[in-house]
Amino acid sequence: MSDEASELLELTRALRAHAEWQRATGVMALPRATRADLDARGGPPPEFEPGARGAAARRSDPSPARAAPAPSRAAPGSSHDAPAPSRAAPGSSHVAPAPSRAVAPESYAAEALEQVRAAATRGESMPPDLVSVAPPRVVLPVAERSAALSSLQAEVAACEACGLHATRTQTVFARGQGTVGVCFVGEGPGADEDAQGLPFVGKAGQLLDKMIGAMGLDRDEVYIANIVKCRPPKNRKPEVDEMSACVGYLRRQLDLVQPEVIVALGATAVQGLLGTSQGITRMRGNWKLYEGRIAVMPTFHPAYLLRSPAAKREVWEDLKAVLRHLGRPVPGAKTT
Ligand code: URA
């Protein structure tokens, strides 16, 4: 068998093992490896380095001076370990680009594979943290993104794709900048939101603002949007056809905003984002991935917390996990 064929076979086996491992453990993400972890293993293989061209390149270039190792997304000093620098340009009405990650797509795959192998060898059933492995999307410059969000908002305002348009006062697009890399996603507008044209401005919204404040964040630093943009009559849950007519707008918003973490508020948000109708009680507190790339923390909807205040304790645990994932300080946590 040629070198290329045996490499392909090994890759196929590793991918199958990866898939089986994920299925067995219910994991939808991968443990993060630090730069030090990778370096201890001698770094990712050269064929996965930016600029390299596979095994042939490695074989034909015995020079030790290979390309610099790709930075791990969780390396000390990366945006995972420290609060991300403000991502919004002064005066911009929308979010600024995420810090660029000059890593070749292949190095994510190599890194992921190594992480999976290492975790499986250690017999770990659930990684302590996760990192998405798909390459980052192309992030538009601030002005372009701002313009794209504004034109998407105008498109939404004219939408008549489902029956909800007939009873709305106005569409409800989003609020906040998303500069800290967090997006909260709710179900759909209620009466207050329908009247004001902004999400989460009623009682549930006031509680959400308190939750955001307790995280040490400003309400305008996060991005807040809903699965559906028009108020369902009598505040009923949106129907499946209404959700599927509308969720594409949210997906486009997320593509533009590029959050590091999405907090899915309640079962409808989880269903719209992840396509699962599992109950929120089972899902909450367990990291998932949106489009295999963005970390999602499912938690209870603030409207539920208004009815069941005892559940605030669990939501607070979920929000602390979000802060840890972002590398931000966790209020009340011991600093040793
Ligand atoms: N509930 C939601 O899910 N979204 C809002 O915007 C308001 C209340």
Which atom from ligand 1 is nearest to the alpha carbon of 269?
3
Phi, psi of 265 (to 5 degrees): -95, 100
Predicted structure pTM score:
0.65
The mean pLDDT of the chain is 75
Which tops the pLDDT comparison, 293 or 119? Answer: 293
Residue type, 172: V
Who contacts 330 (Cβ-Cβ below 8 Å, separation ≥6)? 320, 323, 324
Nearest to 66 by CA among 56, 76, 57, 74: 57
Nearest to 299 by CA among 273, 336, 260: 273
| Residue 108: pLDDT band with limits 50, 70, 90 | very low
205-222 pLDDT, tens digit per residue, is 999 999 999 999 999 999
Q: For 325-336, what is the mean pLDDT?
A: 86
Instruction: Specify which residues 30 forms β-bridges with.
Output: 131
The Å distance, Cα 186 to ligand 1 centre, comes to 5
Which tops the pLDDT comparison, 142 or 9? Answer: 142
Phi, psi of 294 (to 5 degrees): -105, 130
What is residue 213's predicted lDDT score, i.e. its pLDDT?
Answer: 98
| Residue 315: pLDDT band with limits 50, 70, 90 | very high
272 lines ligand 1 (CB under 6 A): no
What is residue 148's predicted lDDT score, i.e. its pLDDT?
Answer: 96
For every residue of 86-141, DSSP letters joined together read P-S-TT-SSPPPPPP----HHHHHHHHHHHHHHHHHTT-SS-SS-B--SPPPPPPP
What is residue 164's predicted lDDT score, i.e. its pLDDT?
Answer: 98
251-307 pLDDT, tens digit per residue, is 999 999 999 999 999 999 999 999 998 999 999 999 999 999 899 999 999 999 999
240-253 pLDDT, tens digit per residue, is 999 999 999 999 99
Provide the pairing of β-strand 288-290 with 294-299: antiparallel
For every residue of 213-260, DSSP letters joined together read HHTT--TTTSEEEES-SSPPGGGPPPPHHHHHHHHHHHHHHHHHH--S
Which atom from ligand 1 is nearest to the alpha carbon of 204?
8
What is residue 119's predicted lDDT score, i.e. its pLDDT?
Answer: 54
176 lines ligand 1 (CB under 6 A): no
226 lines ligand 1 (CB under 6 A): yes
What is residue 106's predicted lDDT score, i.e. its pLDDT?
Answer: 44
The Å distance, Cα 224 to ligand 1 centre, comes to 9
Share of the chain above pLDDT 90, in %: 55
For every residue of 47-84, DSSP letters joined together read GGSTT--HHHHHHH---S--PPPPPPTTSTTSTTTSPP
Could you give the CA distance from residue 8 to residue 13 in angstroms, rounded to a whole number?
9
Which tops the pLDDT comparison, 4 or 88? Answer: 4
The Å distance, Cα 329 to ligand 1 centre, comes to 27
Tokens of 263: 């907090």
What is residue 110's predicted lDDT score, i.e. its pLDDT?
Answer: 52
Could you give the CA distance from residue 302 to residue 211 in angstroms, rounded to a whole number?
9
182-211 pLDDT, tens digit per residue, is 999 999 999 999 999 999 999 999 999 999
**Residues 152/161, Cβ–Cβ less than 8 Å:** no
Could you give the CA distance from residue 46 to residue 157 in angstroms, rounded to a whole number?
50
Tokens of 300: 């209870």
Surface-to-core class of residue 99, CB atoms within 10 Å of its CB (0-12 exposed, 13-18 middle, 19+ buried): middle
**Residues 268/293, Cβ–Cβ less than 8 Å:** no
Q: For 72-88, what is the mean pLDDT?
A: 32
